[in-house]
Structure 1
Amino acid sequence: MRCRFTFLLLLFLAPVSSSSSSSRPQWVLQRVPVVLAEQTEARSAPHFLSAARLDVSSSCDPECHKKAPRPSYWDLRRLLAYETLHADGQLTETAVGIYGYDPSPDTGPETSPDTGPAGSARSRVRRKRQIFGHDGRFSIAGQNHLLKFPFSVAVKLSTGCSGTLVGDRHVLTAAHCVHDGKNYVKGAQKLRVGFLKSKQRDTPASSNFTNHVEGGPARYGPPTDDKMKFQWIRAKRTHVPKGWIKGNANDIGMDYDYALLELKKPHKRRHMQLGVSPPAQRLPGRRVHFSGFDNDRPGKLVYRFCRAGEETSDLLYQHCDAQPGASGSGVYARMWDGRRRRWERKVIGVFSGHQWVERRGAAHEFNVAVRVTALKYAQICYWIKGNFVDCREG
């Protein structure tokens, strides 16, 4: 049995080739390490907060994260160990082993300070807003868009966050949507996931995007309660990395602000594939996208895209307009898949939320996403597939 396991590991860790003769931005297949569950133990009953805290703040800016010591192999094993909260209230902790890990950074050349968000010094601190200048968000209207890919992969959590379908039973979201770094939030034990569903047949619309900031009456308004509703499915398990639980939203622990939910029953929608986050300069137009349920537009799905700014090994900084409620949305990119000969959207990060820091007496603001690194890809894929063999390509 041990020989067979070793053979599978060697086969799994073999380099993956990529034919990239086209000038189109392409997904590059790469070797992904193995993150394997080794031992699971029961833990005492978890504590739940009286209210969910859905905001994240941090005193650590991009430069702070770049200067932080890179974790060692043993550090990574501790950070990627994880807790699992079960629907019956049971809590377990799982230790992991890491195989085939390449410690080289996941980012390309770093952007200069004057090209990213960190170079834009501001004298005013806006702690609540996550809108940068003109509001570039779009409310998605019309069932012919809301219920079709890629917008149909966006779901709402009963704790108030958003999430993204990444499997037949699995939803990727932010860790702080279920855990504040010390305790589980209220409602995490009886967590539900909401799918937008039509109450009645919708009239096809020639235009299904409504930007509320443009002004003027819209011919086709956003979905209303008499047309759309949420269908809820209970979560069976919730996985949270110890890197988030050991840390908190005020230090480097925000690098691990992601969680995976397993539903009690499968959904019937197309899900989005997971991908290892490429360097920002390789993204078409350096552009990222995500959709979620922003609190200031209740019951409506909100889509946005923007140019990615600075990045670290684990975080992507950008100025995508967003409001609370969008946290947990899957940040995705669209590039050419040379092997399948088609354009593919893949989730490359999880939107964590708004960050502001004081630097040299000035306030700096960012919206931050946690990047899906090769190690995180291996871990999340293992949570979804239940084995490492099916997690070879990132």
Structure 2
Amino acid sequence: MMIPRISSLIFLSWVLTSVTAYHTEVIPQKILRLMPSHFTAINTPELSTVCTEECVLRESLSDPLDSSQQLDYETTFSNGSRTLTTLSIQVESRGAQQTEKKGNPLRTRRQVYGPDVRFSIRSRRFLREFPFAAAVRVSTGCTGVLITERHILTAAHCVHDGQDYVKGARKLRVGFLHPGDRPFLRWVRVKSIKVPRGWIGSPAELSMDYDYALLEVRRTQPHPHMSLAASPPLPDLAGGRVHFSGYDSDRPGELVYRSCRVEQQTAHLLYQHCDARPGASGSGVYGRVLHKGYWRRKVIGVFSGHQWVEVSGEPRDYNVAVRLTPLKYAQICYWIRDANFSCPND
């Protein structure tokens, strides 16, 4: 069936609906044992997808509350055993906000846009302090962010290609940077991996919507960690800016920081032109959001990679982060608590 040509205004001026969930109940239904993973997939530290006009329309009209069935999740343990947990999610919604965001002129270079505004964090003081000390290196070639003393949020494609777990996930480790005259990474083994069902087997053009995973290490870590928040509407994000630090492949052994304005936003994705290279995937994307009357740095997304977006037959490119919608936020909280838990929407 022919799809009517979609005006570029759909992409350049999305109508964003943000549902404020004051009470989100996550209830497990079933835990099923699966066949052990074969760990046959090839490591892909960089994800690149194409979003056609049909995909753009679907993204612009999607609602985070329509996707609860995608929040069932798979858990893989270090011995290769797997389980599938199905969830029931109840959300009480007390209001909605609608905002419009009009795009700026779009650039056409990939990953690094114009002058490279990234800079390496070399100061011992900063490397030991929040938020930089929360960034970790994932042994498959990605980055992650410490969100509790034992849990790391990263991109799903860093451990799973949508069909199977990558080879490097069999003995997955995360590295904490220790500053000094000769900085080094202290590696810690990962105990378990959780991946949302929305990532597994998803069509390529929608794979970024659920490109996040949670890693649990065996012991608590004495490093500062970052708090999570549901991704707010752009007017509620200080300056409309996001920040993230990662281990970009072109600067080996260095932690690289960058910041930029969000260009566009859908229900599931943040589109921006933050400079990035392979290796930064999985970085915790944070912004300043209001919390109890103060502006706080909170992780509101996960950096996924690059996406070509087709608008009126014209390809345009962005670097993309997965938004933590209220349901994703509740799901990750449940993963951390591993019990029936109500997550307030920060």
| Shorter-normalised TM range | 0.7 to 0.9
Which residue, out of 98, 103, 110, partners 2:100?
A: 110
SS at structure 2 position matched to 1:382: helix
Could you say which residue in structure 1 is the equivalent of 2:192?
Answer: 237
Post-superposition Cα deviations, 1:133-173, rounded to whole Å, max 9, x if no partner, equal 01010100121111111100000000000000111100000
Paired positions, count: 327
What pairs with 1:155-194 in structure 2 (closer than 5 Å)? 155-194=136-175
What pairs with 1:1-394 in structure 2 (closer than 5 Å)? 31-49=22-40, 51-60=42-51, 64-68=55-59, 70=62, 76-100=67-91, 102=93, 108-112=98-102, 115-116=103-104, 120=106, 122=108, 129-198=110-179, 200=180, 227-248=182-203, 250-338=204-292, 342-389=294-341, 391-394=343-346
SS at structure 1 position matched to 2:164: coil
Shift of 1:276: 0.7
172-181 or 48-57, which moves further after superposition?
48-57
Root-mean-square deviation (CA), in Å? 2.4
Contact 2:23 2:342 survives alignment (8 Å) = no
Post-superposition Cα deviations, 1:13-62, rounded to whole Å, max 9, x if no partner, equal xxxxxxxxxxxxxxx98514222222111101223235301222222168
30-39 or 148-157, which moves further after superposition?
30-39
Q: TM-score, normalised by structure 1?
A: 0.77
CA distance in 2, matches of 1:355, 1:70: 18
Contact 2:136 2:143 survives alignment (8 Å) = yes
CA distance in 2, matches of 1:295, 1:311: 27
CA distance in 1, matches of 2:63, 2:79: 34
Shift in alpha-carbon separation, 1:161–1:72, aligned structure 2, 3 A:
closer
Post-superposition Cα deviations, 1:62-99, rounded to whole Å, max 9, x if no partner, equal 883443564797x6343110001101110111000111
CA distance in 2, matches of 1:62, 1:380: 31
Could you say which residue in structure 2 is the equivalent of 1:15?
Answer: none
Amino acid in structure 1 at the alignment position of 2:90: Y
Contact 2:41 2:160 survives alignment (8 Å) = no
Amino acid in structure 2 at the alignment position of 1:33: T
SS at structure 2 position matched to 1:384: helix
Amino acid in structure 2 at the alignment position of 1:247: S
Contact 2:269 2:320 survives alignment (8 Å) = yes
Amino acid in structure 1 at the alignment position of 2:22: R
Contact 2:48 2:307 survives alignment (8 Å) = yes
Contact 2:285 2:299 survives alignment (8 Å) = yes
CA distance in 2, matches of 1:390, 1:269: 26
Amino acid in structure 2 at the alignment position of 1:149: F
CA distance in 2, matches of 1:85, 1:274: 23
SS at structure 2 position matched to 1:285: helix
SS at structure 2 position matched to 1:378: helix
Shift in alpha-carbon separation, 1:29–1:356, aligned structure 2, 3 A:
closer
Q: TM-score, normalised by structure 2?
A: 0.87
CA distance in 2, matches of 1:303, 1:108: 31
Shift in alpha-carbon separation, 1:184–1:154, aligned structure 2, 3 A:
same
Contact 1:163 1:173 survives alignment (8 Å) = yes
Q: Which runs of 5+ in 2 are unaligned?
A: 1-18
SS at structure 2 position matched to 1:59: strand
Amino acid in structure 2 at the alignment position of 1:252: L
SS at structure 1 position matched to 2:67: helix
Contact 1:378 1:388 survives alignment (8 Å) = no
Shift of 1:261: 0.5
Shift in alpha-carbon separation, 1:188–1:108, aligned structure 2, 3 A:
farther
Amino acid in structure 2 at the alignment position of 1:187: G
